């Protein structure tokens, strides 16, 4: 069965520090995509970063980078130089062969000033 696991229900991080949010996945599909979304308290899901299963390099988008370890089936999100506005829920998701996104339970990140 396809599954996304986020083992950190919540995290507190000091402003300006880097933070790593964990995500492991389980799939038998040879081709898949991994996504990270941010959901502030307003509710909107904001796309952050994408990693394809065949991509050779780790994805980066500004302060976001994805530490993709295919053999370990992990796709951790790294946020560098955290800011107060980064406080939100963060979801890891995997697109399966039916174009459905399978979601983790999320990690609540709180940035402390």
Partner 1 sequence: DTGVSQDPRHKITKRGQNVTFRCDPISEHNRLYWYRQTLGQGPEFLTYFQNEAQLEKSRLLSDRFSAERPKGSFSTLEIQRTEQGDSAMYLCASSLVLAGEQETQYFGPGTRLLVL
Contact positions toward partner 1, by CB under 8 A? Answer: 4, 33, 35, 37, 42-47, 50, 52, 91, 93, 95, 98-106
Structure tokens at 34: 């991994």
CB nearer to partner 1: pick between 32 and 65: 32
Is residue 74 within 8 Å of residue 92, measured between CB atoms? no
* Residue 15: CB minimum distance to partner 1, A: 25
CB nearer to partner 1: pick between 86 and 95: 95
**DSSP summary character for residue 15:** T
CB nearer to partner 1: pick between 28 and 41: 41
Report the distance separating Cα 85 and Cα 72, nearest Å.
31
CB nearer to partner 1: pick between 19 and 23: 23
Report the distance separating Cα 41 and Cα 72, nearest Å.
32
Burial of 111 (C-beta count, 10 Å sphere; 0-12/13-18/19+): buried
* Residue 26: CB minimum distance to partner 1, A: 15
* Residue 14: CB minimum distance to partner 1, A: 25
């Amino acid at each position: 069965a396809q599954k996304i696991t986020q083992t950190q229900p919540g995290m507190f991080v000091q402003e300006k520090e880097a933070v790593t949010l964990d995500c492991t996945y389980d799939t038998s599909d040879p081709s898949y995509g991994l996504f990270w979304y941010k959901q502030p308290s307003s509710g909107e899901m904001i796309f952050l970063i994408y990693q394809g299963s065949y991509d050779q390099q780790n994805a980066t988008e500004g302060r976001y980078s994805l530490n993709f370890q295919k053999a370990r089936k992990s796709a951790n999100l790294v946020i560098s130089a955290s800011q107060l506005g980064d406080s939100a829920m963060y979801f890891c998701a995997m697109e399966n062969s039916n174009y459905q996104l399978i979601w983790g339970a999320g990690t609540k990140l709180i940035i402390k000033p």
